[in-house]
Amino acid sequence: MTGFLYMPERAYPLLLVALVTLTHAPALDSGFHYDDRHSLLDNPHIRDLGQIPRFFYDPTAFSADPAYAMYRPLVLTAHAVNFALAGYAPLGYQLLNLAIHCLATLAVYLLLLCWPLAPIAALAGALLFGLHPVQTEAVNYISSRSESLAALFYLLSLYSYLRQQQTLSLLSFGAALLCKATAITLPAALVVHSWLFGDRSLKRLWAYGLVALAYIALYTGLSAPGTGIERAAEVRPPLSQVATQAKALVHYVQLVAMPVDLNIQQQFFVSASPLAPVPLLCLLAVGSLAVCARRPSTSSYALFFFVLALAPTLFIPLHILVNDHRPYLALFGLALALGAACQRLRSTHIVLLCLLLASLSLQRGQIWRSELALWHDAARRAPLMPEAHYNHGYALHRVADLDGALAAYKRAIALEPDYARAHSNLGAIYQQRQQLYQAVGAYRAALAREPDAVETLNNLGLCYAGLGQTDQALEFYQRALTLDANQAEVWLNLGLLLRDRGESQAAAQALERALQLDPSIAERFPAPGK
């Protein structure tokens, strides 16, 4: 039997991979962005394959900054393999992201065939999943790999379950959890599927509950005080969280239905009225269950899956309220609904859908090709978000557009006066321009909000040294080293200051310590005695 464009159905998987690759490949090699700095570029743990066992018991290995500790050992392992193969060449990381997305798209196609849907309908649904512009972030933003990799294993687990391959399904479920905690919803997806379409005794599902409980126990253990995992409950009160993410659910529906307002930094705020959406949510939940109970159908399950995939964010408070990559897995629900509808559609309709989605994804991909373009777009689309302006300023700063960066940082501070990093980077621009008194003011403003910022303390020391106020410079260098004695840059600056003050012995000791911590410093300053 032939179908789509007179192609044999066995060629559909190749067509899927080809179309997904052609759509997303033009934006590859766009570089590192945003969280990639602390999780990849500055993270020493991924540079040694011998660290892989540590990934499975130490959440702090996820980032160079313990404040961003997360338990995603398989994602870290993928990063480590990337580094071993190609160092910090961004193309290698993004190629793996694209490969993961292609595999997830194939998994969607196979799942739809198991439902069962006709091959042409399964192809349509998989194309929606693979080409949708929402997915561009998961391909182009390396740190979003946790989303796509977890979704891949989640979909493989669901596929294996439908194929009666329970061992493989359970292993895939465990792998999904080791990529991202949001995969915890899989048992609920299986329970509802069995209830609607299969064995209502649910005898096959107890093992999935055990895997989920084991993961919760492990995660809870690693979340004990002192382990470095940030306690999410401290972010915002539960009622405010539910209200905010109920609003976010509507936002995601709009985003997948009309994907023309994608943004790495969405303009979205905490709900002002914590209780307002709760009755609506209850009504929707009761209504959905009633529809499923009275008329079990593929479409009703698709709707349920879309909501279920996004449900963890209702209860897990996150600092960033919404992200374009969060509907990644939920899009399977939309693909399933489209596949069910496409049983009655013609191939020409699918061609038009492909062209529309691919064109929107190509357009969005071009934004990702440049960090400056990405954050310029973010600041334009989200003018009230201070972080969008801060990151736009950072991107401008990196290309030496100091006037533009200065304006962006000031805009971020105007929106959020306590934005310590914006104050600090403002000081860096003044320092670069040799406007040292203004730099001191900006750095002190940053320290007032973040007293333990070692880099800011070091920069303040440099400014005071430049002003000839060596006592103040010495004070700030010493404060920085009290917080972190392994800062080679601070030891170097301290040594040079002590040398200029005529304290030769102390200067030699400080410079020797700097060389011990970072031998490359010898290129900037000769070793003592040479």
Q: What is the pLDDT of residues 459-480, one digit of tens each?
A: 999 999 999 999 999 999 999 9
Asked whether the predicted pLDDT for residue 375 surpasses 90, the reply is: yes
- The CA-atom distances, in angstroms, between 147 and each of 134, 144, 154, 246, 307 are 12, 5, 10, 20, 16
Q: DSSP character for 527?
A: P
d(C-alpha 517, C-alpha 25), whole Å: 41
Range 30-44 burial, b when 16+ CB lie within 10 A, else e: bbbbbbbbbbbeebe
Mean pLDDT across the chain: 86
d(C-alpha 59, C-alpha 68), whole Å: 9
Angle between helix 73-86 and helix 145-162 axes, rounded to 10 deg:
120
d(C-alpha 37, C-alpha 377), whole Å: 20
Asked whether the predicted pLDDT for residue 107 surpasses 60, the reply is: yes
Could you tell me if 449 and 429 are in contact, meaning their C-beta atoms sit under 8 angstroms apart? no
Q: Which two tokens stand for residue 249?
A: 């659910």
The helix (run of H) or strand (run of E) holding residue 484 is none
List for the chain the helix, strand, coil content (%; round to 5): 75, 0, 25
Give me the pLDDT at residue 2, please.
46
Q: What's the rounded mean pLDDT across residues 263-288?
A: 65
First to last CA, the chain: 80
d(C-alpha 221, C-alpha 227), whole Å: 9
Q: Is the pTM of this model over 0.85?
A: yes
Could you tell me if 419 and 390 are in contact, meaning their C-beta atoms sit under 8 angstroms apart? yes
pLDDT band at 285 (very low <50, low <70, confident <90, very high): low
What DSSP string describes 215-266? HHHHHHHHTSTTS-B--GGGSS-HHHHHHHHHHHHHHHHHHHHSTT---SS-
Its sign, for the CA torsion 270, 272, 274, 276, is negative
Which domains does the chain show, CATH number per domain?
A: 10-368 (no CATH), 371-523 (1.25.40.10)
Give me the pLDDT at residue 241, please.
72
Summarize pLDDT for 235-263 with one digit per residue, the tens: 566 677 777 777 888 888 888 888 888 99
Q: Which two tokens stand for residue 128?
A: 């929606």
Residues above pLDDT 90, as percent of the chain: 57
Residues written for the chain:
530
| Amino acid present at 83 | F
Q: Which residue has the higher pLDDT, 116 or 133?
A: 133
Q: What is the dihedral of CA 56, 59, 65, 68, to 10 degrees?
A: 130
Q: What is the dihedral of CA 377, 380, 386, 391, to 10 degrees?
A: 30
pLDDT band at 405 (very low <50, low <70, confident <90, very high): very high
Phi, psi of 11 (to 5 degrees): -85, -5
pLDDT band at 210 (very low <50, low <70, confident <90, very high): very high
